[in-house]
Amino acid sequence: MSIEDRLDDLEEALEDQLEENYGECKWTRANGELTLVVPREQLLAVMQVLRSYHDLGFEQCIDVCGVDYAAYGHSEWNAEDAPNTGFSRGAEREAVTDFQVESRFAVVYHLLSLSHNVRLRVKTFLDADYPVVDSVTGIWNGANWFEREAFDMFGILFNGHPDLRRILTDYGFIGHPFRKDFPLVGQVEMRYDEDKGRVVYEPVTIEQRTLVPRVVRHDYRYEEGCKPVKEEEQADG
Amino acid sequence: MAEIRNYTLNFGPQHPAAHGVLRLVLEMDGEVIQRADPHVGLLHRGTEKLAEHKPYNHSIPYMDRLDYVSMMCNEHGYVGTIEKLLGVEVPERAQYIRVLFDEITRILNHLMWLGAHALDVGAMTVFLYAFREREDLMDCYEAVSGARLHAAYYRVGGVYRDLPDQMPRYEMSHLGSEKEVKYRNQARQGSLLDFIEDFTQRFPGYIDEYETLLTDNRIWKQRLVGIGVVTPERARQLGFTGPMIRGSGIAWDLRKKQPYAAYDKVDFDIPIGTNGDSYDRYLVRIEEMRQSNHIVKQCVDWLKNNPGPVMVGDYKVAPPPREKMKDDMEALIHHFKLFSEGYSIPESEAYFAVEAPKGEFGCYIIADGANKPYRLKIRAPGFAHMAAMDEMTKGHMLADVVAVIGTMDVVFGEIDR
């Protein structure tokens, strides 16, 4: 059975199970993968279905990760007025403020079904002011550390998590480093202070550099059947 | 009556058996573990955040530094994800080269694991034996990429260059004798493939040597049998992959179940354990080395008979050849664009996983149309295994903690990322 057939079966099973009670769940299929978007209130119930219903049977939670969508699609490249000002490698780095508050964060779960040999990505969006979602550690015990990581890196809170502590950052760390408004160079640096005889933390002195600016190109060369139609042809048609 | 209290013990981060920088806070009742709380993150470098600030290609060398004993498998996971996003078809020869080096990497990793695990448990010799063979395999790394560890050999669209026709040889130095140099160069007279072929003929004998030292060794069995038992049900729950889940008796291997590269064209078996203890996982990994050796052999045969390109011909993702740039304007532009700005990937997301020696190594990339990934999430197998530390050591003795760390085959480069 090819991967496409298995995904067809999965779509059918999803339709059977979710249509009635969880109509708000939508899924899309791209790159040979299924992505299921679940409203956060229903997450726990839907996950329970995905885990226990036989035709779905996602026994493993392979990965949980947070995403911060605040700077999505944002380009640093500023060559628009290059003819007026002379060419400069101007990479503009401004704080992004125009993000959508109600869907700034997302938690992405990658589930794997060993019995059906198929994967599913479950995504749930969270707002910027109250990024709280139910923990799935009760369904998959292995999600424990992954959720701790998402909390540490993005400040996403998991309701019902048994032990929500920081995991990767230093003891006493402030902030959530993978958020888009957290600078790459960090906020503090540490050194050994000889007078005080201990390690001290100070605000960073180095400045963040951009070697290659972030450029968004509308380049659909690689997408199948997505070649942009030439303007002349459009006019003719 | 005296009050009995649990004793808290700090294990690591500077402990030879901590495999790097693990800090374990152990709550003990006498010598029995009540609770193990691993503190990880001492090697956290923020690889994922760094990758978000670099064009796609610049992050390939970071992948080597994640799980620094299975370098090329990590690269495979990363470039595989990008190829999936771009829809790039990798030439067949490059796919075989990738399988060849994935398996060499698996042997490298398992040798490192075997040596370190045995050393932790108290056997010194195996470590020296294992490093003897690692030397040969790292020479293969060096021959193709110039680096013994951090190769950056896999590129989006194929591999950096074809296999060399001549295996590099040892030169005379003031330390060695001529006779010794001649002896060391014996297997290096032909091409790299000849050298690897010679290695595959020698290697099963070496595995027998390790097994002679360990498999029926009474001390080895006393230290491993029945230690860190994981039932199949728990292995699934805890997100185990790789030898950890196979040791519990579940025949799950991405190379077989979801084949990538040329794994559907080579013949091999998946070994599984029955009891789910450390000893079974030891046997599984030993057999995996034999299977890897078998795969390497098949790849060598195929590669000897099938020359061809090792890099895709699309100059938007792969650099054009040097000669072409001398007289072709387009090629020069492509080269400049590729190495300055890089390529942009249209809005999409993908997850691609490979069967790394330690388990499922996957990359999840969200692309927003820019020349840098919007979000890169690295799914490291060791992270899920380390999370089970508490469960696996509970009720065991302090000395067994070391055996459990060994059997999990943890490397902190990938756990802390």
Q: Which is more confident, A13 or A176? A: A176
User: For chain B, give me the number of helices (H) and strands (E)?
Assistant: 18, 8
Closest to B40 (Cβ–Cβ): which among A117, A168, A212?
Answer: A168
Mean pLDDT, chain A, whole residue set: 82
In whole angstroms, give the CA distance from residue A177 to residue A156.
12
Q: What is the mean pLDDT of residues A9-36?
A: 83
Does A168 contact B342 at a Cβ distance shorter than 8 Å? Answer: no
pLDDT of residue B104: 94
In whole angstroms, give the CA distance from residue B25 to residue B10.
5
pLDDT of residue B296: 94
Does B416 contact A168 at a Cβ distance shorter than 8 Å? Answer: yes
Does A178 contact B49 at a Cβ distance shorter than 8 Å? Answer: yes
pLDDT of residue A233: 46
Tell me how many residue pairs between chain A and chain B have CB atoms under 8 A apart: 136
Residue to mutate among A104, A121, A168, A210, with most B CBs inside 10 A, is: A168
A1-69+104-176 topology per CATH: Beta Polymerase; domain 2 (3.30.460)
Does B368 contact A72 at a Cβ distance shorter than 8 Å? Answer: yes
Distances (CA, A) of A15 to A21, A26, A43, A55: 11, 10, 16, 11
- Cross-strand partners of B377: B364
Selected residues 97-126 of chain A with any CB under 8 Å from a CB in chain B:
108, 110, 114, 117, 119, 121
* Sign of the alpha-carbon torsion through B340, B68, B196, B273: negative
User: Is residue A162 less than 8 Å (CB to CB) from chain B?
Assistant: no
Per-residue pLDDT of A193-208, as tens digits, reads 999 999 999 999 988 7
Selected residues 313-332 of chain B with any CB under 8 Å from a CB in chain A:
316
Q: What one-character DSSP code corresponds to residue B247?
A: T
The model's confidence at residue A219, banded by pLDDT at 50, 70 and 90, is low
Please give the structure tokens belonging to residue B353: 């996983």
pLDDT of residue A237: 39
**Residue A227 above 80 pLDDT?**
no
Contact B390, B401 (CB under 8 A): no
Among A94-103, A210-219, B68-77, name the one with the lowest average pLDDT: A94-103
Does A142 contact B384 at a Cβ distance shorter than 8 Å? Answer: yes
pLDDT mean by block of 10 residues, chain B; 417 residues: 77 80 88 90 90 91 90 93 90 93 94 91 89 91 91 91 89 83 87 92 92 90 90 91 91 90 91 91 93 94 91 87 88 88 88 92 91 92 91 90 90 89
Single out the residue of B109, B39, B37 nearest to residue B72, CA to CA.
B109
Distances (CA, A) of A146 to A49, A107, B131, B415: 21, 11, 34, 11
Q: What is this model's ipTM?
A: 0.87
pLDDT of residue A74: 80
pLDDT of residue B20: 79
**Residue A81 above 60 pLDDT?**
no
Q: Where are the domains of chain A?
A: 1-69+104-176, 74-101+183-237
Residues of B in contact with A140 (CB under 8 A): 237, 239
Contact B103, B261 (CB under 8 A): no
The model's confidence at residue A228, banded by pLDDT at 50, 70 and 90, is very low
Contact B236, B388 (CB under 8 A): no
